[in-house]
Every structure is written in structure tokens, then in C-alpha cells.
A and B are shown apart, each in its own frame.
Chain A
Amino acid sequence: MIRGALTLFTFASVVFFPWPLTALFAVVSSFFIPLLPFAVGMFADTLYYSPQAGTVPLFTLYGAIVTGATILVRRRLRAGIIEG
């Protein structure tokens, strides 16, 4: 439920809110859905990227970086528990 709401809200914020708020939502959501920042970055570039305005699709790039960082952090945090 919370994953669905976060996904919907983050995607909607790309169109309805300024990008810093979208970035905040994406970073917060990444703790629940690590691939979401990458997907949202791709969606933002689909809407706004123009080859004349920049050579690199920045939103996708930043999304991929956040996704990569989140996966690494989660891997570190999810320590193995010795069960008896």
C-alpha cells in the first residue's frame, strides 16, 4: 500500500511540483523501492529532456546514482543475523 502511494505521488510530482520536491520524494521512496529514483528520472527526462538543451539526460543519470547508492546502503544495513 505504502509502496503504491509513494510510486504514484512521486510520478505525479514530476508534473505537478517543482523538481526539488520530486527529488526529495524520490530519495525518501528509494528506501522502500530502490529502483524508483531511476524510473522517475527516466520519466522526467521523457517529459522534459531535449537534445538541444543538454547532451546528457541529467534526471536519469541522477536517478541511477541514487538507485545505486540506495542499493549499496541497503546491502550494508541488511546485516546477516545468526539464528539459533
Chain B
Amino acid sequence: MKKTFLARRNGLLSPADLSWGVFTLGCALIVLLMRVLAPNFFWKAFTPVFRTADALASQSHTLFSSFRNARALTAENEQLANENVAFATENQTLLRKVADLEALFTPSSPEVSSGILAGVVARPPESPYDTLVLAAGTNAGVTTGMEAFGAGGVPLGIVSSVLADFSRVTLLSSPNVTFVGWVGSSGLPLTITGAGAGAMNATIARSASVTVGDTVFAPGPGMLMIGKIVRVDSDPSVPGVTLRIQPVSNPFSVAWVVLRNTGTLFSITATSTP
């Protein structure tokens, strides 16, 4: 008599699936343990990997750019050179004005800290976590609460944790960050919250005449430009409008930052484990 039976179907995973799965999980757990138990060593070990990734991204960008129209590239280059000259001239004028004002209002000008220059080791590739890992820690004089500034003195975030040779900056666009800023030429105050992936949001009264393209400022030494309004969302059931803010510099492409302790930007919860 022929035997009829059901093939085994109760196992959720075959032995091969399970062995590979356990292997991958084991690898991930080893890396996790390394980060938890020896964070400084972990970042030292992974810094060359991130540097390679940066170099690869830069080279691929150059490769793809080379396929673009040469005439368009030349025109763009010329336009950028002209803008650069205009900005340099404007910068010189502003510097002279600042020097005049400082001489007028502060007879004995206080010592201005030049800050700590720190290279960016790792940046999440537009991930939900808006953080940067810097190659400067307590050995370089970095402390929690220092503000990070990008090119042109644009505020980027705040140092939230520090190790011996590395530190982590939580960006202004991080979802847990809230700070007070201003918008437009009239300087309307508003509370800005991080929205993740480099973006920020703010809510303001509908009666305030805020439009797309208005500049947004954050507190620093004075008012520092951090971004522009790219969209204004209006819901009839809500008294205010929501402003979508795009940062003036892309935080996911910065290569270095300057850390200063101005104590004016904002405060977030800080821990010692990056």
C-alpha cells in the first residue's frame, strides 16, 4: 500500500536560512557590543571605512558630473565665479562695518574664541537620525553643549556627547530639537522644531505675513541665518500656518565644522555615550 504523507511544513526557517541568519545577527551583535563597550575604539576602527565611503561618493559625483553638457557647465562655472566675487566684496564690506561697530560699542573688545576645527567622520545619509560624528573629543577640548558651525558660520547643531577622540553633534534638524528663532526681515519670533532628514518646521499665526523664500534666523552671536522657507502649509481648522524650512547648507555634505562655546543657541538632553 502506498504511503501518503505531508512534507514537513512546520518549520518557519530552513536550516540554511537559519544558519545564515544567525551568522548575520552574530556579526551585527559583535559590532553593537564593540560600540557599547569600547566606543572610542569603535569609531577609530570605522573612521577609515567612512573616509572610503566619502571618497567614493565624491568620485562618483565627479564621474556623473563629467557626463553633463560642457557648455552648461562652463556657464554655471562662470555664474558661480561671478557670485563668488560679489559675495567676497559684500563680505569685506560687512567685515568693515562690524569692525566699526565693535570699535564704537566695545572700547576694549573681548577675546573672541576661534573655536575648534573638527572633521566630520560619519554623517547619516539622510537618515531619520540627524547627527554628525566628529573626529575631535575631550583630548581636543570639546565639551558637551558646544555649538557646531558650518562654512560661513552657519549654526548646524550642538555637541550632545563626547569621547576621548570623537564627539557627536545633534543637528538643529533632529526631531527632538526645539529652539527659538526669527523669520523675515521684521524678525518675527517663532519656535522651530527639527523635522528630520535635514528639514525643520515652525508654526506661526496666520496673520503674520510670512511667505516662501523668507529667511529664518537662529540665535548665536547675533542673528544667524539657518535656512529659508520653502513651503507654507495652511489648514483651515488650525489658527496658525506651518512653515517648512530648508537649511541654508546641506548638513549631510559638510566635511568639517567649527565648535564654539557661545552658550546662546539651545539646549538638549546630553549623555556621555555617543
Task: List residues of chain A with CB under 8 Å of any chain B CB.
Answer: 3, 7, 11, 15-19, 32-36, 38-40, 42-44, 46-55, 58-59, 71, 74-75, 78-84
Residue B248, interface by CB 8 Å: no
CA distance A39 to B22 in the complex (A): 9
Q: Which residues of B contact A44 (CB under 8 A)?
A: 127
Closest chain A residue to B123 by CB distance? A48
28 residue pairs of the A-B complex, CB under 8 angstroms, read: A7-B24, A15-B49, A16-B52, A16-B53, A33-B20, A34-B13, A34-B17, A35-B18, A35-B24, A35-B25, A36-B20, A39-B25, A39-B28, A43-B27, A46-B28, A46-B31, A48-B129, A50-B129, A50-B160, A52-B168, A52-B176, A53-B170, A53-B175, A54-B174, A58-B129, A78-B9, A79-B9, A82-B6
Interface contacts (Cβ under 8 Å), in number, total 129
Q: Which of B61-69, B180-188, B227-235, B266-274 makes up part of the contact surface?
A: B266-274
Whether B122 and A48, one on each chain, are in contact in the complex, defined by CB atoms closer than 8 angstroms, is yes
Main secondary structure of the interface of B (DSSP, over half): mixed
Q: Which residues of A contact B85 (CB under 8 A)?
A: none
Beyond A33-B20, A33-B21, A52-B270, whether A11 also contacts B27 by CB under 8 A is yes
Residue B98, interface by CB 8 Å: no
How many Å from the CB of B13 to the closest CB on chain A?
6
Whether A52 and B269, one on each chain, are in contact in the complex, defined by CB atoms closer than 8 angstroms, is yes
Residue B256, interface by CB 8 Å: no
How many Å from the CB of B85 to the closest CB on chain A?
35
Determine which of B2, B5, B131 lies in contact with A53 in the assembled complex, contact meaning CB atoms within 8 Å.
Answer: B131
Given A18-B125, A39-B25, A71-B12: 9 more A-B contacts, CB < 8 Å: A16-B53, A34-B13, A38-B25, A48-B122, A48-B124, A58-B128, A80-B7, A82-B5, A84-B4
Closest chain A residue to B271 by CB distance? A51
CA distance A47 to B23 in the complex (A): 19
How many Å from the CB of A32 to the closest CB on chain B?
8
How many Å from the CB of A52 to the closest CB on chain B?
4
